[in-house]
Chain A
Amino acid sequence: MPYFLRALMLACICFPLAAIAGDLSSEVRKGASGPDSSNGGYLEVGGGLKVFTSPFYGAPEGNEQGEVHAEAFIDISARYQYNGWFVEMFSQSLEQFSAGYNFYNGDNWAVDLVGLSDHDEMDEDASKDYRGLNRRRFDVLLGPRGTAYLGNYILQVHALKDIVSTHEGEVYSIKLARHWQHRNLNFHAIVGATYRTQEVMDYYYSIDADEASEKFPEFTASGGMSYIVELGATYPISESWVFRGFIRRTQIDSALTKSPLIVDDHGEMIATAISYVF
């Protein structure tokens, strides 16, 4: 079945009726209960600290199974929207940067066309660990994103396809988020599942014959699922300062751990940040 037919079917199943919605991770942290179609934007800038384990070889450089890394990071949450066109960036998000156009608004849900990058570049410049491997370029995916606000729940689906001929693959994801208020503390939870087609997984995690070595034996990756679970809290320190913290676990397909470029079947992250809201 062609990609756009599958994307349309997914959108119709999840959003039988159709508001401008934003990034799920950002929306649920704000305790959003509905979409916003107004022009304008917001900007938050702050600093944070994250402690994490990574399932990826070479990311960060020298990464080993179960190794705990600590990094300071600049926490940016920004969105600007004009006549339906929008760009958004949220460093604590699963998508990080998206740009697109809102083409349908309802009272409690929205359908956007979004473009984003699902995978970073993998080459010697990104990490010395990739020396000897063919360069794997970052991808640019485009497709519909549907967001529904159901009381304290937010549901978001993506159906994306590579448009820059990086791997010609597709990525489908569904995420459900919920927020709770306890006094002025806002808790959130996100669960999600993502399916990446064989083209995506093969491009990034297979080892072709021409690059295979003792360190990187030949390997062919197949399409597979990954899952995320996240719990977090947001607290308004004042009208302009916000504290955020979360703990996240990402589980990847166990079959993928046979790839020389994967060191574990999961990664975890604990992050905290304080941001100024302009």
Chain B
Amino acid sequence: MDSCAVRQRSLLRRLLLSTCLSVFVFSVHAQTLAEAPIAQLQSKPNRCVALHQGQVCYQDIVLYWHADRSGEYCIYQKQAQEPLHCWQAQASGEYRYAFASDSPVQLQLVSMNNKTPVAEMQIDVAWVYKANTRRKTHWRLF
């Protein structure tokens, strides 16, 4: 009779322990999910047009973003060490970006609380005259 009661108590303890563990794991996971904000990064305009392929294209671009919660956010040019601009305790922002590049540039909005990119976008570069001065498209009217 005694050994049966001991076994039941032990089973109850294990059940309690595993329930506690599950609740803990779930709460940690839920917290991690909660720490990745949902954000959007956009620009106006989102492309730059130069005359000739190979030329550096210049464009004043307005970058704007918003997230579902306040925090510290920075906009980075992908793979760059230094941010273009950062905001403290903000859920949205706007930045005037002096774009100058001969190729497309990828930008990321990074949540600095957990160092995670939360949104990204690309600014394209286009040209009127493609490679080697002449358009490769064929005659269209004849």
Contacts and interface: CB of A to CB of B under 8 A. Distances in A.
A272 B129 CA distance: 20
Contacts, number: 78
B49 interface: yes
A34 interface: yes
A191 to B, nearest CB: 21
Interface stretch (A24-32, A157-165, A199-207): A24-32
B51 A184 contact: yes
Contacts of A27: 133
B79 interface: no
A242 interface: yes
Given A236-B128, A239-B126, A240-B128, A30 B51 contact: yes
Interface stretch (B7-15, B64-72, B134-142): B134-142
A33 B141 CA distance: 27
B58 A36 contact: no
Contact of B141 (A38, A236, A240, A278): A278
Interface stretch (A40-48, A95-103, A133-141, A210-218): A40-48
Given A34-B132, A239-B127, A277-B128, A43 B139 contact: yes
B57 interface: yes
A238 interface: yes
Contact of B128 (A33, A35, A40, A239): A239
B19 interface: no
Contact of B134 (A38, A186, A235): A38
Contacts of A31: 51-52, 55, 129
A152 to B, nearest CB: 12
Contacts of B59: 184
28 contacts: A22-B133, A30-B51, A30-B129, A31-B51, A31-B52, A31-B129, A32-B52, A32-B133, A33-B54, A34-B133, A35-B133, A38-B132, A40-B134, A40-B135, A40-B136, A40-B138, A40-B139, A43-B139, A43-B141, A181-B51, A184-B51, A234-B51, A236-B49, A236-B128, A238-B49, A242-B128, A277-B128, A278-B140
Interface of B: 48-52, 54-59, 126-129, 132-142
Rank and list the top 7 A-B pairs by shortest CB-CB distance, nearest first: A32-B133, A183-B58, A36-B132, A36-B134, A42-B135, A31-B52, A236-B128
